[in-house]
Amino acid sequence: MAIRKIVEIGDEKLRKRAKPVEKFDRRLKTLLEDMADTMYQAEGVGLAAPQVGILRRAVVIDTGEGLVELVNPELTSREGSESGPEGCLSVPGRSGLVSRPEKVTLRARDAQGEPMEITAEGFLARALSHELDHLEGILYIDIMEKELFPEDEEENSKEEETAQESPEGMTSKEEKA
């Protein structure tokens, strides 16, 4: 188990396009394991390799239904659009409203290089979209409709019962990003 340092906004690595993974070797396996450890320790629901300073197309996600490791993920379809709150481990202390597809399908490889496909809706679709953006050097703050402040969130949680969590943690004050 190894916890890596999460790079934060201002670091240029968050702004670069990540390169495809070419070797499905021990090093990749270690990277994915470390990314999962780092995500869980930070109480996030997703982490992309650039967030630990590695410019490769690798992502880990766990929205409560088990760990998913995605290598070289590609979006193959998207449906619908839904606005919801998001935070990011690389943008601590902030959150915002972001419009994301309601449903996405991705093609990717697993840690061993085997092809896989994943279809996700709702919160998992949001988390996947957020992490895929990281691989392009895009942060949610670039595309958010508006910044959320604690007073907005109180209003939000009254209006939307589903708005309790967001990719990578924090929307409510109790949660840590």
Which residues are known catalytic residues? 131
**Of residues 10 and 115, the one with the C-beta less far from Ni ion:** 10
CB of 100 to Ni ion, least distance (A): 13
* Contact set for Ni ion, span 151-170 (CB under 5 A): 168
CB of 138 to Ni ion, least distance (A): 10
Place of tokens 């968050």: 14
Among the listed ranges 25-33, 56-64, 74-82, 86-94, the one in contact with Ni ion (CB under 5 A) is 86-94
**Of residues 89 and 163, the one with the C-beta less far from Ni ion:** 89
CB of 81 to Ni ion, least distance (A): 20
Q: How big is the site for Ni ion, counted in residues (CB under 5 A)? A: 2
**Of residues 59 and 88, the one with the C-beta less far from Ni ion:** 88
88 binds Ni ion (CB under 5 A): yes
List of residues contacting Ni ion (CB under 5 A)? 88, 168
